[in-house]
Amino acid sequence: MEQNVLPATSSLKKMVPNLLTGGRVLLSIVLIFVPYYSFSYYLIYLACGLSDVLDGYFARKFQAISRFGTIMDTIADLTFYSIMILRFLQHYHLPWWIFVWIALLCVVRITAWLIRKIKWKQFLPMHSILNKFTAFCIFVIFLFPQYFRDSFAVGLCLVATASCLHELYMNLLKKDVIRA
C-alpha cells in the first residue's frame, strides 16, 4: 500500500498564509543589510507589504485562520515596523516631542493589549480599520522617505492616536470579546 508523502492539496493551501508571514519576518531582517533607496530595498520592502496583505487574504480564502497565524502576523508586523523605524531614524531626526508622543502611544497600545489579556485572555492587537489605516500610512511614509517632513510625523501621530484610543475604548467598554 502506497503512503502519501505530501500532505493533501488543501493542507498545502492552509500553509500558504503562515509561509507568507514567515517570509515577511525573514525579508524584514534582510532589510537591515540592504542599502537605503536601492532597488533591492524597494523590492524587498514592497514584498514585505504585499505579503502582509496576502497572508490575511489567503488565510480567509483557504479557511486557514489560526491562533498561531494571528500571533505570527503580529510578530511579523512588529519585526517589520521596528526595523523600518530604526532604519528611518538613521536618516531623519525628529523633534523630541514626537518621540514623547510616540512613547505615549506605545503606552496606550500596550495598556489596551493588557486589558484585552485580562478581560478576554487574548494578548493580541485588534485588526480594526483604524489600525490597518495607520499601518498603511506608516508603510507609505517609509516607502517614500526622501519626501518625509515633520508635518507627516504629526499627521501620522494623529492617525495613530485615533487608532490607539479606539482600541483602548473597545477593550475597556465592550462587553463581548472583540475578534482580533
Give 22-44 pLDDT, tens digit per residue: 999 999 999 999 998 899 999 99
Closest CA to 93 of 42, 153, 161, 36: 153
pLDDT above 70 as % of the chain: 93
pLDDT tens track for 109-119: 999 999 988 98
Predicted model pTM: 0.84
pLDDT at 90 over 70: yes
CA distances from 72 to 100, 136, 153, 162 (A): 29, 19, 28, 25
